[in-house]
Structure 1
Amino acid sequence: MTGPDIIVVGSGMGGATLAAALAPTGRRILILERGEHLRDSPEARDPGAIFARGHYRPRESWLDGAGTPFNPGNFYYVGGNTKMYGAVLFRFREADFSPIAHLGGRSVGWPVSYGDFAPYYDRAETLYQVRGAVAQDPSEPAHSGGYPHPPVPHEPVISDLAARLSAAGLHPSPLPLGVDLDRWLARGATPWDGHPDTCGGKMDAETCGLAEALKHPNVTLQTGTHVDRLLAGATGRITGVAVTRNGVGETLTAPVVVLAAGAVNTAALLLRSADALHPAGLANRSDQVGRNFMNHNASAMLALHPLRRNPSVYQKSLTLNDFYLRGGPDDKPLGNVQLLGKISAPILASQAGIPQAVARWITDRSIDFYLMSEDLPNPDSRVTLRGGQICLDWKRSNWEAHMALVARMKSVLRRAGFPVVLSKAFDRRTPSHQCGTARMGLDPAQSVTDVRGRTHDHPNLFIADASVLPTSAAVNPSLTVAAHALRCAEAVSVGRT
């Protein structure tokens, strides 16, 4: 049997999008996924099972910087982390591609501009069927046209919230989303944020990118396959992919290998592939593999009025970017505000450690927000291996900007008619916006890949996930990962960057 022309490691946003772009070329593509398909079950719409009992969390532990084990919110299914994502598909803002002065330091610029990415954002929005509106967000970068679909409609309480925020002088706008609302709600009247997609209602990597790729007979998906290490020859070319499937090890080969396992696991795989010629790991001549891990500073915020109830089902349809590029001390950037999926009593009780009755009283009246600020690159914030186990030593940065955003939003929401505003920061167990561990750049001494994802050290090894992002910006990275994967696919397809 003839082997593949391209091996793709991972079926999440990067791998699935790249495969969809390359499938029409006719090249034989083998996608390796360590997980299996996410099947429907009663737990899929049970907030207690999802958030309190961790039904979908992986059976693995990583170490933090102090060597303490923790269970990461990293999901191993066909479609990767997008099976659980909030389906928010923002473009990075135009300013995000340039150096920006923050309260916590200065972010680095990208080696490419927003204009370089804009056509690929267009294509990614089409592939993932994004619902949105261009004109209402003051931070929205230039589009060549509108979004493919109108925005997800606000529920009545959220329409009232938008009016209140507008009356306070702000610019609430529709959240750009990849959600088929009718299809999602037909399976059950629940939020999609943080819930597994078992019905195809979210435009995730499996529903869109992978489904498009698998229309072509030259694309094969192989599940239950753990990639143990990559093998490199004396010339630097990747000569094999060592895997374990059903307890049996084998080595697969292809002229081109693309990594799309996520920023943590891609870095860990490169480090785990160290050999006599590459003692620091593959693609690591720069000593940048695993460094500059970023994950956003984020908090949940609940705003409520004791006399007003919120019967919203999904809630997650509004965003606020008035403070994205300004609004902090010295008018520094603060970040993005968006709605969370409606928090229910089991979620709040499990996360806050309060009785169900108290949690129910609060959640019946709360509108729930997700506040996000940029985490700046730091070479000491990194992924390493300890005895083969992943160690994630995340060193938060720019926290003062996030605290300023929390304070600013509390003031805004009180002015908008919510006398009670509560907030809680997200902890380190949720690396859902992980990025930066194999950043792109022009200088091989300071970066891991070029601007389209080809590694500097290995001419047939590419990276198509969030590892390559030089900065985290302050919006969800999924669409930017998809846009990068489309750019990477072009480089793979034509054999140049």
Structure 2
Amino acid sequence: MQPDVVIIGSGMGGATLAAALAPSGRRILILERGERLRPSPRDRDAEAIFGTGYFRPDESWLDGQDRAFNPGNFYYVGGNSKFYGAALIRYRAEDFEARAHPGGSTPGWPLVYGDLEPDYQAAEEMYRVRGALGQDPTEPPHSGTYPHGPVPDEPEIVDLRARLQRVGLTPASLPLGVDLDTWRGAGDTTWDGYPDTCGGKMDAESCGLAQALAHPNVELRTGCRVTRLEAGAGGRITAVQYEADGKAETLRPRIVGLACGAVQSAALLLASADEARPTGLANRSDQVGRNFMNHNCSAVLALHPLRRNRAIYQKTLMVNDYYNGDGAGGLPLGNIQLLGKITGPILAANSKLPGWLAQAVAARSVDLYAMSEDLPNPDSRVTLKDGQIRLDWQRSNWEAHLQLVATLKAKLRAAGFPIVLSQPFDRRTPSHQCGTARMGADPATSVVDVFCRSHDHGNLFITDASVLPTSAAVNPALTIAALALRAGRHITETELAA
């Protein structure tokens, strides 16, 4: 019996779409190339996670100079959200508007914040977000409150919050999807970058997928790698081809949800080229794979040699004083938030410091994450070369990021941290990849409409970060979930109602 809906990928976009469609009663099949993460001794082993890359895929992509590198994406049930920092932040209302940045400008979205607000509220409830309204001056309007209060600051972070306030900043509680007691019950570490095998993080598997699979009409198949989509003469997707256990299989659903992630979704559409569509499916606009964005990010470590930081999880604050401007009437710089507590093994794995020095630094550091917007550029793109993914990321708006890091360093020194170090993240760190199947009102310049429906294929919906027209400067997970809920409602009303 053929499913009514096939969803490709079980990350934030795919799992949330499945949860939105599950009450329809239609037969829904989720195909996931990976398997479920199972508890193991390596779950809280910083050397295994950050040093040897135990959980990273055995996969090679090419960069813009055709040099091979190992990407930092993960292929498990729940996708990259199994390792995410659980920051579930709404895009600000200004992020949906066209606006200038130090490195260029953004085009704006084909919808406004108010169009998505009800879905943001629903996504926060689905992912049980913990937060507090009224602390952040950039917070957009909410139709409701956060489902739970914020994750509490540890004593060292209480002190940091006060220090930041004294130097004129406005720290706010970071909206988080985490059950602290459950997480720490499996080991006293941060959750940022660590795999969730205990259900302590509100990720795509523990929330969206669990809600979907509670319905008997929803099925998950793991170990299924989709290789090709087929489209008929009328434009609708007619077949989904995949491999499982060394065998080729074909499905013929009414609706296809594509949610493999910004790189893999684009790669699948390009690989599905046929005689009538030689540049790939959903690509009449020639925008599939283009406008790849990946946030400009740096780790910033603030130290006082005579003060130890005994925090375990740490990631509870953000600062948006420079989100909509540089503080002096200038252009936006970005978001600042805390990283999960960096330990000696993590620092040694990501720097040239010897182990003993990395341990001494990490014991005294408060660790922050500076994040600036990467702007859409059609020449920053995903292509295929002899079947291999080629990712030519052309970083933009870097001057804004340098200014954000410099401003943050100055504030931290004024707050009582005489030593402040920084290190940018490179292409091996998937800092919120997005943009390769951009949303827009014009089929000539975009891939999907405001409901994530392909302009070219009426039964194809893309519900991952591919569709984001801009990257904004905050973590995109909640926005992906909100867009998936919006798409699911539209599919139910227009495609599955009859």
Give the TM-score of the pair, scaled to structure 2. 0.99
* Offset at residue 77 of structure 1 (A): 0.2
2:428 matches 1:457 = no
* Offset at residue 329 of structure 1 (A): 7.2
Which residue matches 2:56?
Answer: 57
Which residue matches 2:255?
Answer: 256
Which residue matches 2:41?
Answer: 42
Which residue matches 2:304?
Answer: 305
Which residue matches 2:127?
Answer: 128
Which residue matches 1:269?
Answer: 268
Which residue matches 2:172?
Answer: 173
* Offset at residue 331 of structure 1 (A): 1.1
Which residue matches 2:477?
Answer: 478
Which residue matches 1:281?
Answer: 280
1-structure distance, mates of 2:306, 2:267? 51
What CA deviation, in whole Å up to 9, does each residue of 1:7-34 have, x standing for no partner? 0000000000010011011010000000
* Offset at residue 246 of structure 1 (A): 0.6
The answer to whether the 8 Å contact 1:292/1:437 transfers is yes
Residue identity opposite 1:31 in structure 2: I
Which residue matches 2:394?
Answer: 395
1-structure distance, mates of 2:402, 2:95? 20
2:366 matches 1:364 = no
2-structure distance, mates of 1:38, 1:496? 34
Q: How does 1:61-460 map to 2 (within 5 A)?
A: 61-327=60-326, 331-460=330-459
The answer to whether the 8 Å contact 1:81/1:432 transfers is no
> Where do 5+ consecutive residues of structure 2 fail to align?
none
Which residue matches 1:494?
Answer: 493
> Where do 5+ consecutive residues of structure 1 fail to align?
none
Residue identity opposite 1:469 in structure 2: L
Which residue matches 1:29?
Answer: 28
* Offset at residue 432 of structure 1 (A): 3.8
Residue identity opposite 1:213 in structure 2: A
Residue identity opposite 2:53 in structure 1: G
* Offset at residue 330 of structure 1 (A): 5.4
Residue identity opposite 2:268 in structure 1: L
What CA deviation, in whole Å up to 9, does each residue of 1:431-465 have, x standing for no partner? 24011000111100000001011100011111011
The answer to whether the 8 Å contact 1:7/1:254 transfers is yes
Comparing 381-390 with 323-332, greater Cα deviation is found at: 323-332
Residue identity opposite 1:36 in structure 2: E
The answer to whether the 8 Å contact 2:7/2:259 transfers is yes
The answer to whether the 8 Å contact 1:73/1:432 transfers is no
* Offset at residue 134 of structure 1 (A): 1.1
Residue identity opposite 1:81 in structure 2: N
What CA deviation, in whole Å up to 9, does each residue of 1:373-424 have, x standing for no partner? 0000000000000000000100000000000000000000000000000000
2-structure distance, mates of 1:79, 1:238? 25
1-structure distance, mates of 2:49, 2:96? 36
2-structure distance, mates of 1:127, 1:408? 36
Which residue matches 2:465?
Answer: 466
Residue identity opposite 2:401 in structure 1: H
1-structure distance, mates of 2:168, 2:353? 35
Q: What SS class does the counterpart of residue 220 from structure 1 fall into? A: strand
1-structure distance, mates of 2:492, 2:260? 20
1-structure distance, mates of 2:431, 2:334? 17
Residue identity opposite 2:361 in structure 1: I
Distance 1:330 1:138, change over 3 A: closer
Q: What SS class does the counterpart of residue 279 from structure 2 fall into? A: coil
* Offset at residue 328 of structure 1 (A): 6.3
1-structure distance, mates of 2:422, 2:138? 25
2-structure distance, mates of 1:269, 1:329? 45
2-structure distance, mates of 1:417, 1:134? 28
2-structure distance, mates of 1:13, 1:251? 25
Q: What SS class does the counterpart of residue 352 from structure 1 fall into? A: coil
* Offset at residue 56 of structure 1 (A): 0.4
What CA deviation, in whole Å up to 9, does each residue of 1:239-271 have, x standing for no partner? 101100011111111011110000100000000
Q: What SS class does the counterpart of residue 22 from structure 1 fall into? A: helix
1-structure distance, mates of 2:212, 2:69? 35
Give the TM-score of the pair, scaled to structure 1. 0.99
2-structure distance, mates of 1:307, 1:372? 28
2-structure distance, mates of 1:353, 1:414? 24
1-structure distance, mates of 2:327, 2:377? 22
Q: What SS class does the counterpart of residue 350 from structure 2 fall into? A: helix
Runs ≥4 in structure 1, deviation > 2 angstroms?
none
The answer to whether the 8 Å contact 2:321/2:327 transfers is no
How many residue pairs align between the two structures?
Answer: 496
Distance 1:384 1:328, change over 3 A: farther
Q: What SS class does the counterpart of residue 39 from structure 2 fall into? A: coil
* Offset at residue 361 of structure 1 (A): 0.7
What CA deviation, in whole Å up to 9, does each residue of 1:171-205 have, x standing for no partner? 10100000000000000000000000000000000
Residue identity opposite 2:432 in structure 1: H
Quick one: percent identity of the two aligned structures?
66
1-structure distance, mates of 2:431, 2:34? 17
The answer to whether the 8 Å contact 1:328/1:401 transfers is no
1-structure distance, mates of 2:381, 2:104? 18
The answer to whether the 8 Å contact 1:328/1:334 transfers is no
The answer to whether the 8 Å contact 2:295/2:431 transfers is no
RMSD in angstroms over aligned alpha carbons?
1.0
